[in-house]
Amino acid sequence: MNCYCGLNQDYENCCGAIIQNKKVASCPEELMRSRYSAYVQANGSYLVFSAIKENRHEEDVALIQEFSNSVKWLKLDVLFADEKSVEFKAYYKEGKEIQLLHEKSRFTKEDGMWKYADGELFTTKIERNESCPCKSGKKFKKCCGLGL
């Protein structure tokens, strides 16, 4: 099975290895991709674990799982990545509407491992002429964006 993060790799050798603690993320982009895959799987425990210590709150596990189970994750687009941050767009379907999470995430090393520190959210909408996130191959305006 291809990885949820969108890379053309087997899940077990990509994000699965990081989530299952068989491999350590080598850079912020790898950690961010594994976190996206964890959202797809509603793996709140991993998402809390992969954050910096001061942002780890056990009560968040259930909230993350509830949210992730209430939506259908569609795709991830990495826009930019460097040694400390990753800007991405994550698309998900909530009810009948496609939503977009556009964030620039910051990462730091803690105990020798990359961890999610925080992120800056952007107010971005899906453009009418971009490919539909549902992967139909159609433009958004001719697919899930009909009637918007």
pLDDT band for position 145 (cuts 50, 70, 90): confident
Angle at 99 between CA 36 and CA 131, to 5 degrees: 90
Q: pTM surpassing 0.75?
A: yes
What element of type H or E holds 63? Answer: helix 59-70
In a domain? residue 105: yes
pLDDT range class, residue 128, cuts 50, 70, 90: confident
DSSP state of 125: -
Cα–Cα distance measured from residue 32 to residue 118, given in angstroms and rounded to the nearest whole number: 11
Report CA torsion sign: 114, 120, 125, 127: negative
Tokens 């596990």 belong to residue: 61
- Ramachandran assignment for 135, one of left (phi > 0), alpha (psi -120 to 50 degrees), beta (any other): left
Residue 148 belongs to some domain of the structure:
no
The per-residue pLDDT for range 106-115, each reduced to its tens digit, is: 999 999 999 9
Residue 147 inside a domain? The answer is no
Higher pLDDT, 131 or 105: 105
State both tokens at 83.
């040694």
Judge whether residue 148 has pLDDT over 70: no
Give the mean pLDDT of the chain. 94
63 domain residue, yes or no: yes
Q: Following CA atoms 62, 42, 73, 89 in sequence, which dihedral angle do they give, to the nearest 10 degrees?
A: 80
pLDDT band at 50; cut points 50, 70, 90: very high
Q: Above pLDDT 70, what percent of the chain?
A: 99
Total domain count, the chain: 1
Mean pLDDT of 74-97: 95
pLDDT at 71 over 70: yes
Tokens linked to 88: 């991405």
Domain ranges, residue 60:
11-142
Gyration radius of the chain's alpha carbons: 15
In-domain check, residue 43:
yes
Residue 30, phi-psi category: left (phi > 0), alpha (psi -120 to 50), beta (remainder): alpha
pLDDT for 146 equals 74
CATH number at residue 85: 3.10.450.50
User: Hey, what are 89's tokens?
Assistant: 């767009």
